[in-house]
Chain A
Amino acid sequence: MSNVSGKSHSKLAGIFNQDEPRVDWHDETLWWVRQKRDIQAHKLPEWELLRETASQIKNNVLSNLSAYLEQFEANAINNGIIVHWAADAAEHNQIVHRLLQERGINRMVKSKSMLTEECHLNEYLKEQGIDVIDSDLGERIVQLAGEPPSHIVLPCIHKKKEEIGDIFHEHLGSAKGESDPKILTETARQHLREVFLTRRAALTGVNFAIAETGEFVICTNEGNADMGAHLAEIHIASMGIEKIIPERKHLGVFLRLLTRSATGQPITTYSSHFKRPQSGTEIHIVIVDNGRSIQLDREDFRNSLKCIRCGACMNTCPVYRKSGGHSYHTAVAGPIGSILAPNLDMKKYADLPFASTLCGSCSNVCPVKIDIHDQLYKWRQVIVKEGYSPKAKTMAMKAMAFTLSSPTLYRSGGKVGRLVFKYAPFAVNNGLNPWYKHREMPKAPKESFGEWYSKRKEGKQ
């Protein structure tokens, strides 16, 4: 299924699959992360109850979101935090730019925020003459490589250490041919330390925003969000409206699920709770809609807003593992991305809900029990109804539906099909038949079950 820009998952996945050893490496790496998640989950006999509890908390949030947003805002303001609202990506970017401009700042350090990827913030700020440096190691690597991240938690999972070594040699002065992760990480540490110490502005994402207290939580393993925020004069935190949770104690549920699901660790190194700005500094929160309120209105798809961006669905998805995040041509890829993106631009992302076998693994690792695979099926119906399915496919489906609703047409059609297979195999065993590229066609039996049964019945009589 393709679209205006010509990008389609199947085309990009086809290119990805030209290098089979690399596909194997990508697949094994992500499967390993899935296995680490399994090990951690099995340590908690109450794991399934935790998932159900988190799911219900998020259901409650979505059913009461406007009140929670107002409560969060009021409490945050009371804490001395300044709150901004952005209806869309453009407005979010403009707000961030204005905050920097007002303070005469033209350099900023950023820690991971998939929301800002969705808004294409870095590109926008670059055009305005603002230098942005991503401080998450994986994000910094793809930034230097000039690529978007391929995974929401493991941004450069698609890159081999030799490739990263080359990037660092070119941009950060590490030795040519150096690919030891320890040495490369040390290089990044020195480089980014200098950045932290010299930036007056830091931008972060938000993992959880607590309505009850007006505080927000950021989870990292590297400590980069804190290094940036605590050394800056202004800390800007970007959050989607759905990041709200009602009460502080609910963190006791979500922080037990998030990192176990994401990387198979019991918790990230740092779970930082920001409630008030340090004296002499500012904290600004930008609350962003960008299509989320529209998704909230879609009864079949609103549950996708429960997502806590753990990435477990990507690690388990066999299609994601064997096609890579970039095949989805959108900021948030994989199963969750495929049910979020069509809401943003149905034409551009019409291919994504079809990039799945509906195996259901994603729904069963999701810590908040989003019915991802059911939503993929439902998006397919919407996309076809809205007219984003190729005409040829529609014609073929209509023909199939017609044949299959008539017993006589079905039986004669089946017989003809089997005869073609038997006597004119070249009609199907050729390069025009995609099945035939890597598979033999099934052998045609001499009679169908229906025919066999009729004979048996006659024999009995």
Chain B
Amino acid sequence: MSREKILAAVKKNQFTHAPLPDLEILSTLTATGDNLVHQYTSVASAGGSFVYEVKDLEAIKTILHKEFKPGVKIISGIQELDAYTYAGNVLQESSHSFADAELTILQSNLGVAENGALWLTESQMNIRVLPFISQHLAVVISQEALVPTMAQAYAQIGNADYGYGAFISGPSKTADIEQSLVIGAHGPRSLSVFILT
């Protein structure tokens, strides 16, 4: 059996134990971040995201109402944003049925200032394909949920259980054609981030 053959070959050929390094020193050197909102906004915007600082969900509704035509399919993972289809109510629909979603709004509880990334697990996405298949994506995050770097992010995630999770740091993009950056490859054409301050 290949499994046994491979494992035996690896076991025979591996060499003297090299210990794991200490990550603590590294953590102390990473930015502690004064003004994470400012850093997050600057990096995320440079990556093509639209970043808004808002007081409450009403402010978000106002902005979305301006940016998106009435009548388009908008799915929200945030129950309080009740002007839209609540994702929790359509869990039984097939992934394919969301192909005509114009906008998806989700909540994140962890954002990373050094790279503009937002952590979303399956429970926040509700349906895995939703933040990818939708033409546009919006994410709401509270300013307290921002951390300086990925080191702190994984410390916060810890050994949490999820079936699927993703760091999303901007709209889908590619520079495959002559290194010319194009926003909107196969995923959403835009990412709007609403930071609740």
Chain A–chain B contact at Cβ < 8 A: yes
A residues lining the B interface (CB < 8 Å) = 29, 32-33, 45-46, 49-50, 52-53, 56-57, 59-60, 62-66, 69-70, 85-87, 91, 135-138, 141, 154-157, 159-161, 164, 181-182, 184-186, 188-189, 192-193, 196-197, 213, 221-224, 226-227, 230-231, 241, 246, 248-253, 255-256, 263, 265-278, 287, 289, 293-294, 296-297, 299, 302
B176 touches A156 (CB 8 A): yes
B115 touches A185 (CB 8 A): no
Contacting A at CB under 8 A, from B158-191, are 159, 161-180, 182, 184-188
Q: Measured between alpha carbons, how far is A85 from B180 in the docked complex, in Å?
A: 39
Q: Within the complex, what minimum Cβ distance (angstroms) separates B164 from chain A?
A: 6
Q: Take A87-B6, A226-B132, A227-B129 as given contacts and tell me if A60 and B164 are in contact as well, using a CB distance cutoff of 8 Å.
A: no
Residues of A near B184 (CB, < 8 A) are: 185-186, 189
Q: List 29 A-B contacts (CB under 8 A).
A: A56-B19, A57-B21, A62-B15, A69-B10, A138-B174, A141-B176, A160-B178, A185-B182, A188-B185, A189-B185, A221-B175, A223-B187, A226-B128, A230-B128, A249-B155, A252-B23, A252-B150, A252-B151, A267-B150, A267-B169, A269-B170, A269-B187, A270-B166, A274-B164, A278-B164, A289-B2, A293-B13, A294-B13, A297-B13
B residues lining the A interface (CB < 8 Å) = 1-3, 5-7, 9-21, 23, 25-26, 29-30, 43, 47, 95-96, 99, 112, 114-117, 128-129, 132-133, 149-151, 153-155, 157, 159, 161-180, 182, 184-188
B96 touches A222 (CB 8 A): no
Q: Within the complex, what minimum Cβ distance (angstroms) separates B156 from chain A?
A: 10
Residues of B near A136 (CB, < 8 A) are: 176
Known: A253-B26, A273-B166. 9 other contacts (CB 8 A): A66-B14, A69-B6, A85-B3, A159-B178, A164-B177, A222-B172, A227-B129, A265-B47, A270-B169
Q: Take A57-B20, A185-B182, A252-B154 as given contacts and tell me if A272 and B47 are in contact as well, using a CB distance cutoff of 8 Å.
A: no
B6 touches A255 (CB 8 A): no
B159 touches A213 (CB 8 A): yes
Residues of B near A272 (CB, < 8 A) are: 164-166
Residue of A nearest to B21 (CB): A56
